[in-house]
Structure 1
């Protein structure tokens, strides 16, 4: 008799547990149905979003990379639009771009620096040659009215500057043991130096020509550029003004500050 009672009690408990489990399961199912109805369907904005649903890990990474590229492209477009609006406000331009209307052609205004006579240019070059004793400056005109100014700085470097009037159009810098002559004796304005250090100085000189450019005072621009170039007389003997070292990455200080003319390594000015 006791065994039978225990069996009946166990049967009742199991039925009660099953009933409780079923009620909990039904309650959970109803909650899930309510939650699913509130969420609704997943909205895909483009076909690229289908990659995020792919269970393959490789495609999932591709989706995030595409989204990052899309954001980067939009950011670049926004920055470019802002740059255009800022540059349009700048009135100091090296080249006057002609603007034409549909009914009448407007006259192009030429920069004053480009209309200076060759005699005045030669006079300024002769004055600079007398002012800077450690520089040897001469000018030739093998290309017509455009002057080619050749500069020798001690036994350090040679520079070639192409002038259109008093506006610097082209700059090349080579070592003292190199030449700007071709095999047939013509002036070579295109070939670069075979030394990496003077290639870097050429890049810095081109940047300096843009930095010192002034459309209203072209003579001051030329004088400032020559003064800046003269600071390279200690190219291989002066340490960097920031790190105090003579070499960084096997290169001397190839940059000269625009204001103080102090030698600085390219990596030190960043």
Structure 2
């Protein structure tokens, strides 16, 4: 099929883009196009207007600012994968990006597009949830920041107003001795994950885990943090018994059923993959 007719706009500034959004209710923003273009072609979405952000250079880039990493919404996933800043400060993101589609899709796909599409199985929303990232949004009414924990509103629906555009995502890297892991299971390489698991572990001077973050992707309408498992790990030595008990919390989640997998299978995968992510984290030297 081909898309339904729409008006195409190619603004060259953020102000022009949000001005168009304000004037044209129901318009859709085009970033990398890896999700939107198939939806247009299949007529899952039929907007009257498509606003292309690709000519707005100021929306792309990776910058270190005051101990944080700010990533423009139009930054390509392949640029993130090859960035020394990401490798140094957000290494689990680079690990996760290797599971995102193929190089050809990562060449075009953007971090902002992935977050706004908000597929439950997508890797970048899970990493943003893992780091408690902040999303910056702008409209003609001004700018605001949205905590990643509050960013998913409904299934595949971000907490953006119709006239808002995502401009950047800001991450606070973990400092001190840290370890990370990311694993996922999909039917084929490049497919969306049936379930993914990501973890960050921070170690204190005594060698105990003094901070932990665990996220599951693909199990529900949005990436899911595991606070009970994080609490179980905090203060522990990170033994195999600690990891087994922490991973058991992942099997107690409420998981979704769909054409790809049942809820019971997803819960089983959640436990297994959480254990593997933790084992992967301790298998590599903590930085």
- What TM-score bracket applies, with the shorter chain setting the length? under 0.3
Q: Which has the higher helix share?
A: 1
Larger radius of gyration: 1
Normalising to structure 2: TM-score of the pair? 0.24
Normalising to structure 1: TM-score of the pair? 0.25
